[in-house]
Amino acid sequence: MRIEVPGGAEAQGIGASFGSQHISLTELRKTMPFPGSFVAADRLNQGAAAECGDGERRRFQRTILRVSIGSISTSAICDPPPVGVGSLPGSLHRFAWHADGLRRSNCGCGALEVDETADSLTIHDPSEPGVTAEDPMKRLLLAAVSAAALSVPAFAQPAVQSPTGNLERLGNFQSTGTEEPKPIPQEGRKADALRRNLQSIKLPQGFKIELYALVPDARHMAVGPNAGVVFVGTRKKNVYAVTDRDKDRVADEVKVFAPSLSFNLPNGVCFSPDGVLYVAEQNRVLQFPAAEFFYEGPDVAAFQVLKQGDLIPASEESYNHTARVCRIGPDGKIYVALGQPFNVPAKEKLDLYNRTGIGGIVRMDQDGKNKEVFATGVRNSVGIEFNPGDKTLWFTDNQVDGMGDDIPPGEINRATQAGQNFGFPWYGGGTVRTTEYKNDPVPAGVVNPQVEMTAHAADLGLMFYTGTMFPQQYRGGIFSAQHGSWNRTKPVGARIMFTPLKPDGTADKTQVFAEGWLTENGEYIGRPVDVAMLRDGSLLVSDDTAGAIYRISYGQ
Ligand SMILES: [Ca+2]
Ligand SMILES: [Ca+2]
């Protein structure tokens, strides 16, 4: 292995013999293919193949850590293996740490030290004397730990609630012997057909849509905060990892994530700002520290946040309205929306639902502790997102079927504090009363939706646009996906909507942003589920019918 430094300098060696390198940040940034791309790190599992400095791929028998910054990469054999990679939010800092090694900075891995005021980056050779617990690297490690890792207690104490089978092995950083999954083919007849279909998608002037990846059953998406790996949930058994290695904004590789685990309806995926992936299943929540780095191999660090049966009472498990979504809140807690299983639930169910958060949103600490009900009166939310501006929680809600084509409206809601009731089942959507509850008094203080959407269009994933690629009018506003109706004589939906916000933080008028997946003759050629933003500000759209992810970009 070798480190290549812009300007031709080169250091040979693995791990303990590469020699510390000092690099100018200004020079380094010139080598970056795009802003934010400068750091990528992979933990290559035991026996994994790694690309060597001579361009060959070889298999290694021990764990290797590889850190890349722009065109620079450093690799080291780590023994014991690192359990994660941390970063300081918003900067270049990136570190490896070890299960026993938060106190050990000289751990057998290269480490990075960035001093932006001095315009320098140092890659430390861990074999050099003087890299001790009291040096600046230690301070940086501690800073990284306090900023990132300490919010993930699993690192310090991997013993999490009674895991089973492979989950237990992964939690103990043991291999499971699982084969590396075969990549999903990305070219061929299907890709060609979807590209043709995309020609009928209508977008505002200056925007274009392209096929980003073929991902079977693609539902909700979580874009990794570091390397931009897209993790994709499904309503089936798999989670997929989608990688665009060359950053040409088309995925190069799609494969099953964590193939040694069996998932049950792993629809909800979300990242903490420090790179911990959460997967919300029908009735379990899992945590994958440093998922963007471990995912290259079949075994990934994994822990249970809530074990099977602890998200809702097992008696309430249903096949209906059971696709979970999750987000990490500004308070660091995990928020999970829990659809209730009925069109309109019976009155006898309401007490249990209100206590457990079914038909609502629950939140909990990232270790699963202190689970509590955050919002009630929600029928089936399959899209939640915090406004990064004012920290309010926005969510879509799918409303009652069987009341005709045009009522009740779908909803986009805004939760401004804990404990709010959003009106269901007294209202079937908006302020349309349900037949079943029309004679029951509506609880005081019910919060009406910010936006009443087209009835039955099935509003699912939503996100706030925080990028700069799109024109000013889109910045800070909400993109949301409509899956399309089933309960309507003339189908509607299958499109991407945009809702700008008013200066006071409430919703302004919603408009259609992208449409055409529903043809003139009422046939769906795709059904959007979720929207997510890549680091370059482009918009990803998932489609579970076509089994694809599209990318919408502006300009260029
Ligand atoms: Ca690519
Ligand atoms: Ca409502």
Q: Which tens digit of pLDDT belongs to each residue from 244-298? A: 999 999 999 999 999 999 999 999 999 998 889 999 999 999 999 888 888 888 8
Number of CB atoms found within 10 A of residue 240's CB: 26
CA–CA dist 476, 522 (Å, integer): 33
DSSP-based three-state secondary structure for 29: helix
Q: How far is the CA of 339 from the centre of ligand 2 (A)?
A: 13
Q: How far is the CA of 413 from the centre of ligand 2 (A)?
A: 7
183 in Cβ contact with 254 (< 8 Å) = yes
CA–CA dist 159, 99 (Å, integer): 12
Task: List C-alpha distances in Å: 83 to 80, 89, 291, 459, 483.
Answer: 9, 19, 11, 38, 39
Instruction: Give the 3-state secondary structure percentages of the chain, helix then strand then coil, rounded to 5.
Output: 10, 35, 55
Q: How far is the CA of 253 from the centre of ligand 1 (A)?
A: 8
Q: How would you classify the pairing of strands 372-376 and 420-421?
A: parallel
- Ranges of residues in the chain with a pLDDT under 50 are 1-18, 31-111, 125-163
Residue 248 CA to its chain's centroid (Å): 21
Q: How far is the CA of 542 from the centre of ligand 2 (A)?
A: 25
370 in Cβ contact with 364 (< 8 Å) = yes
- Give the pLDDT of residue 275: 84
Maximum Cα interatomic distance, the chain, rounded to a whole number of Å = 79
- Give the pLDDT of residue 168: 86
Ligand (nearest to CA of 442): 2
Ligand (nearest to CA of 453): 2
Ligand (nearest to CA of 414): 2
Q: How far is the CA of 189 from the centre of ligand 1 (A)?
A: 19
CA–CA dist 494, 543 (Å, integer): 9
- Give the pLDDT of residue 117: 64
CA–CA dist 26, 537 (Å, integer): 23
DSSP tag of 365: -
Q: How far is the CA of 203 from the centre of ligand 2 (A)?
A: 30
Ligand (nearest to CA of 450): 2
Q: How far is the CA of 444 from the centre of ligand 2 (A)?
A: 14
pTM for the structure as a whole:
0.74
CA–CA dist 261, 526 (Å, integer): 29
Ligand (nearest to CA of 251): 1
Ligand (nearest to CA of 250): 1
Q: How far is the CA of 340 from the centre of ligand 2 (A)?
A: 13
CA–CA dist 322, 266 (Å, integer): 10
Residue 380 CA to its chain's centroid (Å): 20
CA–CA dist 91, 88 (Å, integer): 6
Q: How far is the CA of 523 from the centre of ligand 2 (A)?
A: 29
Q: How far is the CA of 419 from the centre of ligand 2 (A)?
A: 14
Ligand (nearest to CA of 399): 2
Ligand (nearest to CA of 228): 1
CA–CA dist 536, 504 (Å, integer): 28
Q: How far is the CA of 397 from the centre of ligand 2 (A)?
A: 7
Q: How far is the CA of 278 from the centre of ligand 1 (A)?
A: 25
339 in Cβ contact with 359 (< 8 Å) = yes
Q: How far is the CA of 244 from the centre of ligand 1 (A)?
A: 4
535 in Cβ contact with 224 (< 8 Å) = no
Residue environment code for 399-417, b if the CB has 16+ CB neighbours within 10 A, otherwise e: bbbebeeeebbbbbbbbee
Q: Which residues touch 322 (CB under 8 Å, ≥6 apart)?
A: 265, 282, 339, 341
Q: How would you classify the pairing of strands 410-415 and 393-397?
A: antiparallel
Q: How far is the CA of 295 from the centre of ligand 1 (A)?
A: 17
- Give the pLDDT of residue 54: 42
Ligand (nearest to CA of 254): 1
Which protein residues have their CB within 5 A of the ion that is ligand 2?
422-423
Q: How far is the CA of 102 from the centre of ligand 2 (A)?
A: 47
Task: Specify which residues 114 forms β-bridges with.
Answer: 121
Q: How far is the CA of 201 from the centre of ligand 1 (A)?
A: 22
Q: How far is the CA of 185 from the centre of ligand 1 (A)?
A: 14
Q: How far is the CA of 424 from the centre of ligand 2 (A)?
A: 5
Q: How far is the CA of 448 from the centre of ligand 2 (A)?
A: 6
Ligand (nearest to CA of 534): 1
11 in Cβ contact with 4 (< 8 Å) = no
Q: How far is the CA of 524 from the centre of ligand 1 (A)?
A: 28
Q: How far is the CA of 449 from the centre of ligand 2 (A)?
A: 6
- Give the pLDDT of residue 30: 55
Name the nearest CA neighbour of 379 among 345, 415, 402, 346: 345
Element at 179 (helix H, strand E): none
Q: How far is the CA of 520 from the centre of ligand 2 (A)?
A: 31
Ligand (nearest to CA of 247): 1
Ligand (nearest to CA of 246): 1
Q: How far is the CA of 24 from the centre of ligand 1 (A)?
A: 28
Distance between the two ends of the chain, CA-based, in angstroms?
A: 37
Q: How far is the CA of 296 from the centre of ligand 2 (A)?
A: 42
Dihedral over Cα of 509, 219, 542, 253: its sign: positive
Q: How far is the CA of 364 from the centre of ligand 2 (A)?
A: 23
Q: How far is the CA of 418 from the centre of ligand 2 (A)?
A: 16
Ligand (nearest to CA of 551): 1
Query: Cα torsion at 252, 266, 492, 452 (round to 10°)?
Result: -120
Q: How far is the CA of 304 from the centre of ligand 1 (A)?
A: 33
Ligand (nearest to CA of 186): 1
- Give the pLDDT of residue 172: 74
